[in-house]
Amino acid sequence: MTRRQITGFSNPTVKYLRSLREKKHRKRERKFLAEGLRLLTDARECDRVPEMLVMAERRDPHPLLTALEEAVTGAGGEVIETSDEILAKITGKSNPQAVAGVFAEWNTSLSALDRQSAPIWLVAQALRDPGNLGTMLRTGDAVGAGGLILLDDCVDPFSVEAVRASMGAVFTQQIAQARWDDFLLWLRSGDGQLVAASLRDAVPYRGAAYAAPCFILVGNESQGLPENYETACDLRVTMPMRGRADSLNAAVAGAVLAYEVLDTFENPAS
């Protein structure tokens, strides 16, 4: 297989790869970076093959790395070898993993979602923290959700931090981005129960009447959900708060709710 060698920090490809750590460049190029053999293997097994693969010159051979290289070459992509130092500069990590890949972003419009493909969907409004976003994707994968719908001004799901925190779920979960009004129109054009954790007019989250496809909505980390968003929900549920705080971390709230919904669906009350 042909591999291009890059030895200079000032190489245009290095500059291009580094630029993908910044949102404005990702948006312009519509590409993103993912690192590590495990993450890239998850991607490959989900038929997401990087357009460009960057490997450390000094790396241990691994059958999964060979499979990755073959997939990239087979799809007409490019394989690059470079030094640990340049890889560190690209990924922004002092101890980078031995491999990184550049992926083309995919369509994240609501019309690309098939709501009947899963009983649970996670929905986040104005989520600001990439770690929370990645964690929600990971939780979605664990509960067998279809994907994550990002409302209003959320952090970029293709940021390096979100991709990393998703532990590969960015490739297994469907992702959509929409404004609230458009989401509501789409939601009401078919089946779907919208559920939020709320303190207003809410029922206990345990054993509530969840129905599939169930859309679990969590709000912004510091503001929570706007009141009219809560009002538009089909079901408002409340979780016990036994301490001083009146809310949970957004990703935690989503996960506790999602596991409750999953249990309701898998073990209907006797």
Q: Compute how many other C-beta atoms are within 10 angstroms of the C-beta atom of residue 23.
A: 13
Shortest distance, position 144 Cβ to a copy of itself, whole Å: 3
Shortest distance, position 247 Cβ to a copy of itself, whole Å: 8
The neighbouring-strand residues paired with 101 are 34, 53
Shortest distance, position 236 Cβ to a copy of itself, whole Å: 18
- Residue 47 found at the interface with a copy of itself (CB under 8 A): no
Q: What would the x/- binding string for a copy of itself be over residues 156 to 185, using CB under 8 A?
A: ---------x-xxx--x-------------
* Number of residues this chain uses to bind a copy of itself (CB under 8 A): 37
Q: Which one, of 218, 210, 212, lies nearest residue 192 by Cα?
A: 212
Q: What would the x/- binding string for a copy of itself be over residues 51 to 90, using CB under 8 A?
A: ----------------------------------------
Shortest distance, position 220 Cβ to a copy of itself, whole Å: 14
What are the two backbone dihedrals, phi and then psi, of residue 136, each rounded to the nearest 5 degrees? -65, -40
DSSP character for 7? -
What are the two backbone dihedrals, phi and then psi, of residue 174, each rounded to the nearest 5 degrees? -70, 145
- Residue 249 found at the interface with a copy of itself (CB under 8 A): yes
Q: Are 251 and 139 in contact (CB under 8 A)?
A: yes
Helical spans, DSSP H, in 173-249: 180-188, 227-231
- Residue 262 found at the interface with a copy of itself (CB under 8 A): yes
Q: Which is nearer to a copy of itself, 179 or 206 (CB)?
A: 206
| Ranges assigned E (strand) in 42-98 | 52-56, 78-82
Q: Are 34 and 100 in contact (CB under 8 A)?
A: yes
- Residue 95 found at the interface with a copy of itself (CB under 8 A): no
- Residue 142 found at the interface with a copy of itself (CB under 8 A): yes
Q: Are 103 and 46 in contact (CB under 8 A)?
A: no
Q: Which is nearer to a copy of itself, 50 or 146 (CB)?
A: 146
Q: CA 127, CA 218: separation in Å to the nearest integer?
A: 9
Where do contacts with a copy of itself occur on this chain (CB under 8 A)?
Answer: 42, 45, 129, 131, 135, 138-144, 165, 167-169, 172, 206, 239-245, 247-249, 251-252, 255-256, 259, 262-263, 266-267
